[in-house]
Structure 1
Amino acid sequence: MESLEVPSETLLQLADALEAGHVRGPLTKFGLRAFTTSASAVRSLEALRQTAGSEAALAAMCRLVVAERAATMARAPRVELVWTGPERAGASSRDTKVVVAELFARARRSVLVSSYSLSGGATLFAPLAARMAEIPALRVRMFFDLTVGDDGMSGPRTREAHEARFVQRFRKWHWRGARVPEVFHDPRTIDDDRISFHAKCIVIDEEIAFVTSANTSVVAQQENIEAGVLIEDRLFALALGKQFDDLVTAGLLVPVQGLSALR
């Protein structure tokens, strides 16, 4: 039945007409001209009428098609465009900074944040730090490329040295909360300068996912031109989070040592 080439509103109007006796079989293109101009739709409706056995039964089937469509729409993922930067008046996008703050504020069980670079974290992570204080069981994991922002630093280029310098920067410039999130990185970025950790996304409660071109920075969330998509779909959010989980389990993404001492 869902193959009917007739809008839901029109099907409801046809159902009303059938029940009122204004439309009777056999259904023809002329007889249904007020409802559809599609010959294939007319043939499908007439076949359904013959199968149903009466106009009243066909009306019920039309309403069933509309109900099935509504149920399908309710199950469909909710997808929204998220944007940073200039755009025309009346654009249907949402603001990156607002979306990120709202996501942090609504988290109940878990938060995953992944970004290539990090700047202005104390400001951007303020809602998340507050949420962690409100919900002691909230688990927060972050993933960054530790080599970004470390180029001008003096000292050794070992994994331990990069981690130690990141811990200093993170606590000084990026995090003000009493509880500290778990932070992971890809050690390959330290050993091979051709490799970058470039994934930029947020997953909330394994239910909502935000995938974006924007890094975790004030400039990226307020001034650059950046595009992203907010997807409210549990299966997608679970799949995205599992990508990170699997890499952590395999030891390919490793925890930054020293942050736990700051708790």
Structure 2
Amino acid sequence: MNGLQRGVVEFATAVSKGALRSVVDTLIEQGEIDAFVLERRVTHHHSKELLLRLLREAAAHHISALRLAGMLEGASYVVEHYQELSPELVWTGPAPAGTATRQTEQVMLEVIRGARERLFLTSFVAYRVDRIVTALNQAADHGVDVKILLESPEGKGGNLSVDSVSLMREVLPRARFFAWQKRSEEFTGGSVHAKVAVADDRLAFITSANLTGYAMERNMEAGVLLRGDEHPRKLADYLESMVSTGVVEEL
């Protein structure tokens, strides 16, 4: 990456979308690179420094105003795309002073409310999550296919002392529930220990938290929220394939 390319990327990454749009529009409208006018389109001192550095590189490479505008606009779309794909840390529990992360329940609600066609949740256990239940029922009301995979109780081949499926079915009448009951010999004694929520092929939340009130609000829990196409789609396809191949069965 040469100095010009680096300058384009650094400036497109540092400034706001509005400031970048203003610089691009000014380059197109004026048809020339006027450092004095362009500098007035950004406000932050660091952004001004990056802009002036970029303009020096553009002059050294004999880049026209229209070509520079195109480079900046193209870079802005790439930067925005990869920022959307960046994982977001999710944390519930005590946090160091000065840190700012969203909590488990906030992100779980975002995923549920973001579903348009299908939603798949997995958890070891589930109970006492009133706000989650409300959001799931609202999703079902809007036509979302809500699937929930939970660990089975001990009386039905699982490792759970409570029957989460029965508890949740009472409050989620339109959800579809699944269980991992036919376990091959190599998985004897194993449990549904994955905690994920996937909305369509766009949002995937992978977390240590079960669907319980304590996990949503009081436990120390960590997770990541993934946006975009690749990883949410792969996880959604994996979960759906367990249903279609009979690894997990609808109850």
TM-score by length of 1: 0.67
How far has the Cα of 1:143 moved from its partner?
1.6
Aligned twin of 2:70:
64
Aligned residue among 95, 108, 116 for 2:103? 95
In the other structure, the counterpart of 1:119 is: 127
Residues 1:178 and 2:191 are matched in the alignment = no
- Deviation at residue 192 of structure 1 after TM alignment: 4.3
Cα contact 2:197–2:206 (8 A) shared by 1: yes
- Is 1:146 equivalent to 2:152 in the alignment? yes
Query: Is the contact made by 1:186 and 1:197 (CA closer than 8 Å) also made in structure 2?
Result: no
Task: Give the secondary structure class of the aligned counterpart of 2:33.
Answer: helix
Residue 3 of structure 1, aligned match among 2, 5, 10: 5
* Helix, strand or coil at the partner of 1:19: coil
8 Å contact 1:144–1:183 — kept in the other structure? yes
- The 1-side partners of 2:148 and 2:161 are apart by 13
Name the CA distance, whole Å, in 1 between partners of 2:60 and 2:175. 65
User: In the superposition, relative to structure 1, how do residues 199 and 233 fare at CA in structure 2: closer, same or farther (>3 Å)?
Assistant: same
SS in 2 for 1:113: strand
> Greater CA radius of gyration, 1 or 2?
1
How many percent of aligned residue pairs carry the same amino acid?
A: 22
Q: 1:225 to 1:45 in 2, by over 3 A?
A: same
CA distance in 2, matches of 1:21, 1:117: 61
Amino acid of the structure 2 residue aligned with 1:254: V
- The alpha-carbon distance between structure 1 residues 196 and 207, as it changes in their structure 2 partners (threshold 3 A), is same
Tell me the equivalent position of 2:214: 219
Match for 1:19: what amino acid? I
> C-alpha offsets along residues 3-62 of structure 1, whole Å, 9 cap, x if unaligned?
3345326x969x79x63388xxxxxxxxx99944x9xx97x646631xx5xxxx1x3333
Q: Would you tell me which structure has more helix in proportion to its own residues?
A: 2
Contact residue 121 and residue 175 of structure 1 kept, 8 A: no
Deviations 1:189-227 (A, max 9, x none): 898445333221111122211111111111111111111
Shift of 1:105: 3.2
In the other structure, the counterpart of 1:28 is none
Moved more, 206-215 or 115-124: 115-124
The alignment of Structure 1 onto Structure 2 pairs a total of residues equal to 222
Alpha-carbon distance in 1 for matches of 2:113, 2:80: 25
Question: How far apart, CA to CA, are the structure 2 residues paired with 1:215 and 1:208?
Answer: 18
- Measured in 1, the distance between the counterparts of 2:184 and 2:192 equals 7
The 1:174/1:82 distance shift into structure 2, 3 A limit, reads farther
The aligned counterpart of 1:48 is 61
RMSD: 3.9
Indicate the SS of the match to 1:141: strand
Distance 1:184-1:166 versus aligned 2 partners, 3 A rule: farther
Where does 1:1-263 land on structure 2 (aligned, <5 Å)? 3-5=5-7, 7-8=10-11, 19-20=33-34, 35-36=52-53, 45=58, 48-49=61-62, 52=63, 57=64, 59-76=65-82, 77-78=84-85, 79-121=87-129, 124-132=132-140, 134-135=141-142, 137-146=143-152, 150=154, 161-162=156-157, 169-172=164-167, 175-185=170-180, 187-188=182-183, 192-251=187-246, 253-257=247-251
Distance 1:112 1:169, change over 3 A: closer
Stretches of structure 2 that go unaligned for 5 or more consecutive residues are 37-48
**Relative to 1, partners in 2 of residues 1:21 and 1:214: Cα closer, same or farther, differing over 3 Å?**
closer
State the AA in 1 paired with 2:212: S
Report the 3-state secondary structure (helix = DSSP H, G, I; strand = E; otherwise coil) of the residue aligned with 2:125: coil
C-alpha distance 189-90 of structure 1, shift in aligned 2 (>3 A): farther
2:116, 2:217 → 1: CA distance?
26
